[in-house]
Amino acid sequence: MIANGVLVLVVSLATLLVDDTFAWGIVLMGGSLIFSGSTGFCGFAVIFARLERFRGKSKAP
């Protein structure tokens, strides 16, 4: 959820400061949140799960 929040914030700022076409990024992120909420499938969760595998096990106490 933090990643989605950061992306929405960055794209919103880009829409305000750079160009109005960045608003489509907000529309796509909103659609993906609706999709993940209704189906239970989250693309970010899949990506982050794969990243954890490549990091290896932490040896923290």
φ, ψ of residue 55 to 5 degrees: the values are: -75, -30
Asked if 3 and 44 touch (Cβ cutoff 8 Å), the reply is yes
Return the pLDDT at 16.
92
pTM summary value: 0.60
Cα angle: 7, vertex 19, 36; to 5 degrees: 30
Q: How far apart are CA 6 and CA 44, in angstroms?
A: 13
**Residuewise pLDDT in 10s, the chain (61 residues):** 677 788 888 999 999 999 989 889 888 888 888 888 899 888 877 887 888 666 666 555 5
